[in-house]
Amino acid sequence: MRKKSEPSEVRINKFISQSGICSRREADSLIKKGLVRINGKSCKILGQKIKTYDKVEVNGKEIKPEKKSYILLNKPKDFITTSKDTHGRRTVFELLKGINERVFHVGRLDRKTTGLLLFTNDGDLTKKLTHPSHKVKKVYYVKLDRALEESDLKKIKLGIKIDEELVFVNNINKLDKKGEIGVEIHIGKNRIIRKIFETLNYKVEKLDRVLFGTLTKKNLPRGKWRKLSENEVRSLKSF
């Protein structure tokens, strides 16, 4: 019978991931490169288990596990998705007042785009949510400068060539008002929705992400944030 690990033990790659610096897979890579030390000795075994109070160093710097934090922001317009900006522009991190944990944004929204933006220090979840193979659902409300023509709607459904690559949306529908569109897409390339419509000579007047995975903007005003519930975290991890 296999002996169970003591409750105070954890695999070294998980310990490193819980510090918020990288995913477990990336932690394994650091171990292979000889950049991880446990109590002053080089770690050479992938999957090695350690006590949670052991001293772990990565690239000469001691690390400690961070409490996992999952934060949902309803991003306003004119904030950029970065921690610092050399041009003096406002960043999304300025909106996260009261958050003590170090968190990172999961994907990006450009300066003019509003809506749901997730932050966490969970490296494994970030890797999962941003990898194309998991096909995380993202739904956007789009307001165009004019009504979308039926011929152009068909072109988008068949795929639009952007930067020498054929780009597909998962679903697209006209909404009740003129020029308003609902778009579901799984890929997360920079400004991809704007590029789709700009390629067909439309101007995007408003772009708002209204759904990310299983998360919605319900009861979350623009510019405000909230922490995810345990059920919401479990739902995201189930992708």
Catalytic residues, by residue number, are 110
Structure tokens belonging to residue 166: 């054929």
CA dihedral 159, 192, 226, 95 (to 10 degrees): -170
3-state secondary structure of 98: coil
184, 139 Cβ separation under 8 angstroms: yes
Q: What are phi and psi of 76, to 5 degrees?
A: -85, 170
DSSP string, 45-56: -TT-EEETTS-E
131, 83 Cβ separation under 8 angstroms: no
164: left (phi over 0), alpha (psi -120 to 50) or beta: left
Cα distances (angstroms) measured from residue 2 to each of 5, 47: 9, 16
Structure tokens belonging to residue 73: 């922001």
Structure tokens belonging to residue 217: 């903007």
